[in-house]
Amino acid sequence: MQINSTRLLDNLSELAEIGARTDGGVCRLALTDEDKISRDWLLKKMQDLNLETHIDEIGNMYGIRKGKSLQPLIAFGSHLDTVTTGGKYDGSYGVLAGLEVINTLNENEIVTDGSIALINFTNEEGARFAPDMMGSLAVSKPELLKEIWESKSFDNESLNVKSELQRIGYLGDAKVNQFSFTNYLELHIEQGPILENEKLQIGAVELVQGIYWTEYVFHGAAAHAGTTPISARKDAGLVVSSLNLFLRKLSGVIKGQLCTMGLIEYYPNVVNVVPERVKVIIDLRNPDKELLKQAQEKADQYIKEISESHQVSFDRVEKVRFDPVPFSQEMVEAIEKSASGLNLKFKRMVSGAGHDAQMMAAICKAAMIFIPSINGISHNVKEYSNPEDLINGANVLLNTVATLVSNV
């Protein structure tokens, strides 16, 4: 049994037209008109496949294909929302490959023992509303639903998640914990260079590395660049520059550690004014929880020292604290077995990015399948994966689901 390659690739192309950017990328921010159009498109596809469709209170979409019994209930999917400079594959690929899996089961008139569910999660990217992985977070922690509903749009403070769900017609009546999933499987592009570099076709993801985001606002003193002696300056920018170089060194010292300073805001940000205030958010990641904590502690210790030496004070806010999430060994083995059965080259690996699967891991057995991303490029209009890899991944998903739904 194999998926229909042409139909998968055609669906990817068709979906990419919704929110298409002129530069070849896709912009389909969560709960915008473009998101609604893509959701309507998916709902129609689900209905055409005779799935039982549900929308829950956070807008997650479910297409359920019943087997001989409702349990075990094997879920798979991903998300249709993108970042502003998004590509065609991040999220979309997992949903459309899932659709293709169901299409293939239907065409082959397979009656499964358990049931399966295709899911499109709301706002995985977090590019318009915080936090990211919102839909799967609500499923794993229903007690957070009301707080999540109140989250305001970054572009317009008068809009929140609930009002935008209502506006686009996707505030559903299914409870976020209505379904009892036994497994969750997510197929995704790697978003990194490892599979390509090692000439492998499939990654069996056994762990999502931990992610810590910490915001620091450094308070120096605004001063005239032409008249303030160096000794009289409290330059918040120099603290941040020193920190950036320290973080780079830290990445080389602690095993598996990645440190990134991707966001900086200067105030007043004027050529001839020593910066009074600088905001940064630092992104620390490590597959090992203890090492990640150690990296954060070393960074905090350094920040304390360097700030003091520049007579700069600071505020600190922990924005994200995701510890590493191990996936189900049983599911990872099932993925490896499927890849092996298809004669594909594979390895176990760690996910560097966060995914809905890590939220689902809190309530059921979960794992992920990766395929190569060319040059590791993602969250970028140049994001690309080869058709053969896209097809291989969907077949691994098909075989793994087929195994799980009859064997669990």
Question: What residues line the site for a second copy (CB under 8 A)?
Answer: 83-85, 190-193, 209, 211, 213, 222-230, 232, 235, 237-238, 240-242, 244-245, 248, 251-252, 258, 260-266, 268-275, 281, 283, 285, 319, 351-354, 376-380
The C-alpha atoms of residue 133 and residue 325 are separated, in whole angstroms, by 14
Least Å distance between CB 347 and a second copy?
15
Least Å distance between CB 62 and a second copy?
28
Contact, 160 vs 150, CB < 8 A? Answer: yes
Least Å distance between CB 172 and a second copy?
29
Question: What is the helix (H) or strand (E) element at residue 83, kind and residue range?
Answer: none
The encoded tokens of residue 56 equal 């829950």
Least Å distance between CB 165 and a second copy?
24
* Length of the chain as a residue count: 408
Least Å distance between CB 252 and a second copy?
7
Query: 63 or 210: whose CB is closer to a second copy?
Result: 210
The C-alpha atoms of residue 248 and residue 339 are separated, in whole angstroms, by 37
Query: 63 or 354: whose CB is closer to a second copy?
Result: 354
Query: 72 or 372: whose CB is closer to a second copy?
Result: 372
The encoded tokens of residue 144 equal 């957070």
Query: 44 or 321: whose CB is closer to a second copy?
Result: 321
Lookup result for tokens 């969750």: 184
Helical H runs in 156-205? 161-167, 194-197
Of 263, 273, 260, 175, nearest in space to 224 by CA: 273
Q: How far is CA 212 from the centre of its chain?
A: 14
Query: 29 or 102: whose CB is closer to a second copy?
Result: 29
Question: What is the helix (H) or strand (E) element at residue 127, kind and residue range?
Answer: none
Give CA separation, 203 vs 32, 88, 151, 207, 261, in Å.
32, 20, 34, 11, 28
Least Å distance between CB 130 and a second copy?
11
Query: 55 or 320: whose CB is closer to a second copy?
Result: 320
Least Å distance between CB 44 and a second copy?
32
> How many CB atoms sit inside 10 A of residue 311's CB?
13
The encoded tokens of residue 259 equal 């440190």
The C-alpha atoms of residue 95 and residue 102 are separated, in whole angstroms, by 11
Query: 1 or 225: whose CB is closer to a second copy?
Result: 225
Query: 38 or 209: whose CB is closer to a second copy?
Result: 209
Query: 101 or 238: whose CB is closer to a second copy?
Result: 238
The encoded tokens of residue 174 equal 């299914």
Least Å distance between CB 139 and a second copy?
22
Of 261, 243, 222, 253, nearest in space to 304 by CA: 243
115-120 and 202-208 strand pairing: unpaired
Query: 1 or 270: whose CB is closer to a second copy?
Result: 270
Q: Name residues whose C-beta falls within 8 Å of residue 318's C-beta, 6 or more positions apart in sequence.
A: 212, 213, 214
Least Å distance between CB 234 and a second copy?
12
Contact, 203 vs 397, CB < 8 A? Answer: no
The C-alpha atoms of residue 289 and residue 346 are separated, in whole angstroms, by 26
Least Å distance between CB 373 and a second copy?
8
